[in-house]
Amino acid sequence: MKAVGIIVEYNPFHNGHLHHAKQARQESGADLVIAVMSGQFLQRGEPAFADKWARTQMALDAGIDLVIELPYVYATAQASDFAKGGIALLDAIGCSSFCFGSEQGEINPFLNSRHLLTEHWAEYQHLIHEAVQTGISYPKALNNAYLSLTGNRPGFADLTQPNNILGFHYLEAAQNLSSAMDPLTIQRIGANFHDSIQAGMPIASATGIREAFFKGDSIEQLSAYMPEGSIASLKKTEKEYGKFGSWEKFYPLLRFTVLREGPHRLKQYAEVTEGIENLIYQSAKTEDSFESFISLIKSKRFTRTRIQRMLTHIYTGFTWQQLRSFEGPEYIRLLGMSRTGRNYLNHKKKNTTLPLVSRAADLNNSMGKLDIHATVMYLQGMGSTNLKKEFTTPPIYWG
């Protein structure tokens, strides 16, 4: 059996994700689609809109065959580490290809760009270092350095586009791993990453969907943009928690934590750097809403996403020391599977290069305990007192 891997957040699963999954299957000629999905906290440094089990259910309902969890340490990391974790897991579970959505839509420009940077690695690093010195953000510095190398020559990937950047890191991760997986990409359609929803368009970004909801649309009203399974799972989430995850909802706990720790101790948490702990602390003192809080902190140098990742680690209590203790994924955590997914596992289970884990109780290394911890922290932000959900929820079987 041949599997194609995709790396996803499904926050929530929408029609654009459905398109991606179908195209990945078609382009790869694979028998099944395996998704590595972020857990309770996401790459932009935010709590998930719905918990990982609800999002797994959405994925299975839409035809994904196997959902495995991207551990917290990768799910909440900057693009290169996020990619490293996702690609390593797809490789470990035996995918013969991986497929990402991109603005570019073709794989060759990515391969050319990757080749160019490998050839000129030292120069590239030097250019990045110089650009950072001017006070611009790290993503911008990367891009400036890259443009200096490519000049205006055609045939290279446009790394100003968010999905192209991520795609580039997937290729880099696969190459560093000497993975045998074929890289594939498909053109993203309909909506850009952060676009708001537009009436009459069946594709909206996940950000647009969440925004529309928080502005007052009901889940029902957003049904044009999501498969039926997503609508059902979101309704179930609303019933279970009475709300959806967002920093605004988590802010009272975050604020308490920031104020309790004080600037001196805030420094110990992963990604908190360069004195920004003072600004975080002072802003928590005065601001009653998350939006006004983060508005005071973000800047040209520190993007919202970067700040949010710091806040995620402060919220969960994840330190620099912990961050530095991990070297690569240590297990394959199963969140859900279709009948095809189960057959695949039955064939593969002796050949995966990392252990398969179905039960939280079997996550007895520090990386796995961190995933359980992240769930406990997430559930409290969601106002739940059922903190044992990680232990009482088996992988979802869709058969």
Binding-site residue ranges:
7-20, 101, 163, 188-189
Return residues touching its own copies (CB under 8 A): 252-253, 255-257, 259-262, 265, 285-286, 288, 315-317, 373, 376-377, 380, 385, 387-388
Nearer to its own copies (CB atom), residue 62 or residue 294:
294
* Shortest reach from residue 317's CB to its own copies, in Å: 4
**CB of residue 288 vs its own copies: minimum separation in angstroms?**
5
Least separation in angstroms between CB 285 and its own copies: 7
Q: How far is the CB of 324 from its own copies (least distance, A)?
A: 16
Identity of the residue, 115 or 265, whose beta carbon is nearer to its own copies in the bound complex: 265
**233 versus 375: smaller Cβ distance to its own copies:** 375
Of 223 and 364, which has the nearer Cβ to its own copies? Answer: 364
Q: How far apart are CA 243 and CA 260, in angstroms?
A: 26
What letter does residue 225 receive in the DSSP assignment? G
DSSP code of 325?
Answer: T
- Count Cα atoms within 13 angstroms, Cβ side, for 208: 22
SS3 letters for 250-275? HHHHHHHHHHHHHHHHHCCECCCCCC
**Strand, helix or coil for residue 68:** strand
162 Cβ partners below 8 Å, 6+ apart? 193
Minimum distance, C-beta of residue 270 to its own copies, in the bound complex (Å): 14
Question: CB–CB of 294/347 below 8 Å?
Answer: no
Q: Residue 162: count other Cβ atoms within 10 Å of its Cβ.
A: 17
Rounded to the nearest whole angstrom, what is the least distance from the CB of residue 330 to its own copies in the complex?
19
The nearer residue to its own copies, 2 or 285, going by C-beta atoms, is: 285
Q: 26 vs 292, which CB is nearer to its own copies? A: 292
Residues near 177 by Cβ (< 8 Å), separated by ≥ 6?
87, 88, 91
Q: How far is the CB of 369 from its own copies (least distance, A)?
A: 9
Nearer to its own copies, 180 or 259 (CB): 259
Q: Does residue 12 have a cis bond before it (omega within 30 degrees)?
A: yes
Q: How many CB atoms lie within 10 A of CB 31?
A: 15
Greatest extent of the chain over all pairs of C-alpha atoms, in Å? 57
Q: Give the nearest distance from C-beta 99 to its own copies in angstroms.
A: 37
Quick count: other Cβ atoms within 10 Å of Cβ 160? 13
Interior/surface letters 201-232, b for 16+ CB within 10 angstroms, e for the rest: eebbbbbbbbbbbeeeeebeebeebbbebbbb
Question: What is the C-alpha separation between 62 and 227, in angstroms, rounded?
Answer: 7
Nearer Cβ to its own copies (312/340): 312
**Residue closer to its own copies, measured from CB, 133 or 385:** 385
Task: For residue 238, give every residue at least 6 positions away whose Cβ sits within 8 Å of its Cβ, in sequence order, or none.
Answer: 219, 244
CB of 259 to its own copies, least distance (A): 6
Q: Which of 9, 8, 4, 12 is nearest to 58 (CA)?
A: 12
Residue 57 tokens, joined: 């259910």
> How far is the C-alpha of 23 from the C-alpha of 32, rounded, in Å?
12
Residues making up the binding site for ATP:
7-20, 101, 163, 188-189
